[in-house]
Copies of this chain bind each other. A is one copy, B any other.
Amino acid sequence: MAAPKGLARYLPILEWGRQYDRSILTSDLVAALIVTIMLIPQSLAYALLAGLPPVVGLYASILPLVAYAIFGTSRTLAVGPVAVISLMTASAAGAVAAQGTAQYLEAAITLAMLSGAMLAILGFLRMGFLANLLSHPVISGFITASGILIATSQLKHILGVRAGGDNWPDMLSSLAASLGTVNGWTLAMGLPTTLFLFWVRKGLKPALEAIGLAPRMAGIIAKAGPVIAVAATILAAIFLDLGDEGVNLVGAIPQGLPPFALPSFDMGLIGQLWVPALLISIIGFVESVSVAQTLAAKRRQRIAPDQELIGLGASNIASAFSGGYPVTGGFARSVVNFDAGAETPAAGAYTAVGIALASLFLTPLLFNLPIATLAATIIVAVLSLVDLKTPGRLWRYSKADFAAHMATILITLWAGVELGVIAGVAVGLLLYLWRASRPHAAIVGRVPGTEHFRNVLRHEVITDPAILSIRVDESLTYLNARWLEEYVLERVADQPEVQHVILMASAVNAIDASGLESLEAINHRLKDGGIAFHLSEVKGPVMDRLRRTHFLDELNGKVFLSHDHAVAALEGGQGVGKAT
């Protein structure tokens, strides 16, 4: 499949739209119906998590889906509100306004606007590689810690108490302090709902299979389990008059389509929100692309990460203009969409129609929905994200990755989501740079009777005290330029009889300007000490570049095609083998 060219690169709809037919339409409509049923309670719940009115969750599930259908490259990604981004929105908006105020909603909309603009700009600049700064251990640490934070934040709704806190210790102590005010009816609704949803997650699919459903269909129906909980608790609330017993209900949701709203362009607000918006963008992009890539590979399709940035950017801008908040591709609902047979992004647009119909006609039915039910769906969803096996696995494999993972978890729990992400990126980068600044290198000697040269510490090899052969297993860049000078000069200082130093460059893929200056410095210093400096096995592209400089003219030695040649020539004899 060739990559699309011209306008189709930026508008993938032009590509798949041409082959659209009745059979694809049927598949997409079926998938859309199932995703809609799953998305209604999710949208309400994640809006609650973001500290926003439930209807904002519905608004964020309409136009953003249409925008992604036009600009996105994944055939099956389902965008909308997701747990982690909702938590980050709550944290960022909560820093500039109090929940429930108009300023808080404005901050959430501004976050969607900023995040959309940043994603689109990164996409046009083809800067998707920035997402690489989040290593897998940092992402998984962040998701685990966010899952713990989110689940803890929802416990107050299950207990029917008032509690706060922006970080885990504060949340726990605030919850503990409020335990005297637990509302029995709320707990009586919330706890069984939570247990039921856990069972739905693990036990419903096998149960459905046991009564004869096909595994795929059983899996899809099991994903709609929360709808059962929603219906049952609404009925319970109505018949038991739970509103009068102090159980928090969703209450009146404005009926109708999302408003067309111009986001605010308050520079003060933008100044306060751009850092969290950037973090939301990057986390959202990483989550979304991971899901999209996994699903695309299953059908041997491709996605274009830079165009995905534009697709998600358009979604978020659409969310901002329709009173929503930041959205991205969600894992669970995309898998459902895929399993339900969605074939094109049009399925997302049909889902949008479904949610719009729900906003128009279903919201009165949700008046009596207990908040505790929504909290239970959130808790069950996010606890599945908490991964307790990873730390042990990382500890055994790589201490550096373990350090980055644990730093992300602990700082996210203790200092919040924003510092957690930043700390994870910083720790990962520092460890990477630390290793990059001291690459692997070895003094090599000849394997007897061959033209091979190996590490003197690992192999029985022959060396000549007048010749120092150094192999560097890394490109020479500014990160290791200082190390290179120290390494070579120290090896020379250790071997006083040395007359020739040969740098074996078989693993050097590139030499940047700093690396070149280090080579020049080494050459000058060795020359001062009366020692010749040679290179061997320099790769073609590296040699082409060196020819553009004065380095080769000034080199107090030669460049040899093979290390064998070099050693043989400097020993005054002939090489054992021929040039490679």
Tell me whether A135 and B512 are in contact in the complex, defined as CB-CB below 8 angstroms, given that A297-B528, A397-B545 are known contacts.
yes
Asked if A479 is at the interface of the complex by the 8 Å CB criterion, the answer is yes
Q: Is the CB of A512 within 8 A of B478?
A: no
Tell me whether A302 and B135 are in contact in the complex, defined as CB-CB below 8 angstroms, given that A401-B514, A512-B400 are known contacts.
no
Asked if A548 is at the interface of the complex by the 8 Å CB criterion, the answer is yes
Which chain B positions have C-beta within 8 A of A386? none
Interface string of A539-558 (1 = CB under 8 A from B): 01000010011000000000
Asked if A313 is at the interface of the complex by the 8 Å CB criterion, the answer is no
Tell me whether A129 and B434 are in contact in the complex, defined as CB-CB below 8 angstroms, given that A478-B428, A507-B507, A513-B135 are known contacts.
yes
Q: Is the CB of B525 within 8 A of A297?
A: yes
A351: min CB distance to chain B, Å: 26
Q: Is the CB of B545 within 8 A of A129?
A: no
Interface string of A15-44 (1 = CB under 8 A from B): 000000000000000000000000000000
Tell me whether A398 and B434 are in contact in the complex, defined as CB-CB below 8 angstroms, given that A131-B482, A293-B485, A298-B528 are known contacts.
no
Tell me whether A509 and B428 are in contact in the complex, defined as CB-CB below 8 angstroms, given that A481-B136, A482-B131 are known contacts.
no
**Within the assembled complex, what's the spacing in Å between the Cα atoms of A131 and B138?**
25
Q: Is the CB of B401 within 8 A of A489?
A: no
Majority secondary structure, A binding face: helix
Tell me whether A132 and B529 are in contact in the complex, defined as CB-CB below 8 angstroms, given that A493-B300, A509-B473, A548-B396 are known contacts.
no
Asked if A517 is at the interface of the complex by the 8 Å CB criterion, the answer is yes
Which chain B positions have C-beta within 8 A of A401? 512-514
**Within the assembled complex, what's the spacing in Å between the Cα atoms of A507 and B475?**
11
Tell me whether A437 and B129 are in contact in the complex, defined as CB-CB below 8 angstroms, given that A300-B529, A400-B512, A513-B401 are known contacts.
yes
**Within the assembled complex, what's the spacing in Å between the Cα atoms of A438 and B545?**
20
Which chain B positions have C-beta within 8 A of A510? 435
Q: Is the CB of B480 within 8 A of A440?
A: no
Asked if A569 is at the interface of the complex by the 8 Å CB criterion, the answer is no
Q: Is the CB of B481 within 8 A of A132?
A: yes
Interface size on A, residues (CB 8 A): 68
Q: Is the CB of A129 within 8 A of B433?
A: yes
Interface string of A479-491 (1 = CB under 8 A from B): 1111101100110
Asked if A172 is at the interface of the complex by the 8 Å CB criterion, the answer is no
Which chain B positions have C-beta within 8 A of A483? 129, 132
**Within the assembled complex, what's the spacing in Å between the Cα atoms of A486 and B528?**
49
Which chain B positions have C-beta within 8 A of A397? 513, 516, 545, 548-549
Asked if A361 is at the interface of the complex by the 8 Å CB criterion, the answer is no
Which chain B positions have C-beta within 8 A of A474? 509
A240: min CB distance to chain B, Å: 49
Which chain B positions have C-beta within 8 A of A12? none
Which chain B positions have C-beta within 8 A of A396? 548-549
**Within the assembled complex, what's the spacing in Å between the Cα atoms of A392 and B480?**
24
Q: Of the candidates B130, B302, B478, B540, which one forms a contact with A490 in the assembled complex, judged by CB atoms under 8 Å apart? A: B302
**Within the assembled complex, what's the spacing in Å between the Cα atoms of A514 and B135?**
6
Tell me whether A493 and B548 are in contact in the complex, defined as CB-CB below 8 angstroms, given that A397-B513, A398-B512, A512-B401 are known contacts.
no
A408: min CB distance to chain B, Å: 13
A395: min CB distance to chain B, Å: 10
Interface string of A391-407 (1 = CB under 8 A from B): 00110111011000000
Asked if A1 is at the interface of the complex by the 8 Å CB criterion, the answer is yes
Which chain B positions have C-beta within 8 A of A486? 293, 305
**Within the assembled complex, what's the spacing in Å between the Cα atoms of A458 and B293?**
31
Asked if A133 is at the interface of the complex by the 8 Å CB criterion, the answer is yes
Asked if A477 is at the interface of the complex by the 8 Å CB criterion, the answer is yes
Which chain B positions have C-beta within 8 A of A528? 297-298
Chain A residues 317 to 357 lying within 8 A of chain B, measured CB to CB, are none
Q: Is the CB of A513 within 8 A of B433?
A: no
Using CB atoms, name the residue of chain B closest to A480. B132
Chain A residues 490 to 513 lying within 8 A of chain B, measured CB to CB, are 490, 493, 507, 509-510, 512-513
Using CB atoms, name the residue of chain B closest to A286. B482
Asked if A137 is at the interface of the complex by the 8 Å CB criterion, the answer is yes
Q: Is the CB of B136 within 8 A of A514?
A: yes
Q: Is the CB of A432 within 8 A of B514?
A: no
A99: min CB distance to chain B, Å: 29
Interface string of A415-451 (1 = CB under 8 A from B): 0000000000000100011110111100000000000
**Within the assembled complex, what's the spacing in Å between the Cα atoms of A305 and B133?**
29
**Within the assembled complex, what's the spacing in Å between the Cα atoms of A481 and B135?**
9
Which chain B positions have C-beta within 8 A of A393? 549
Which chain B positions have C-beta within 8 A of A439? 509
A residues adjacent to B (C-beta < 8 A): 1, 129-138, 289, 293-294, 297-298, 300, 302, 305, 393-394, 396-398, 400-401, 428, 432-435, 437-440, 452, 458, 473-474, 477-483, 485-486, 489-490, 493, 507, 509-510, 512-514, 516-517, 521, 525, 528-529, 540, 545, 548-549, 580
- Can you list 14 A-B contacts with CB-CB less than 8 angstroms, sorted by A residue number? A132-B433, A132-B437, A136-B478, A293-B485, A302-B493, A305-B486, A394-B513, A397-B545, A398-B512, A398-B513, A432-B479, A435-B510, A452-B580, A458-B540
- 20 additional contacts (CB under 8 A) given A129-B434, A129-B437: A129-B433, A129-B483, A132-B479, A132-B482, A132-B483, A135-B481, A135-B512, A135-B514, A136-B513, A137-B478, A300-B529, A302-B490, A305-B482, A305-B486, A394-B513, A397-B548, A432-B478, A440-B509, A474-B509, A507-B509
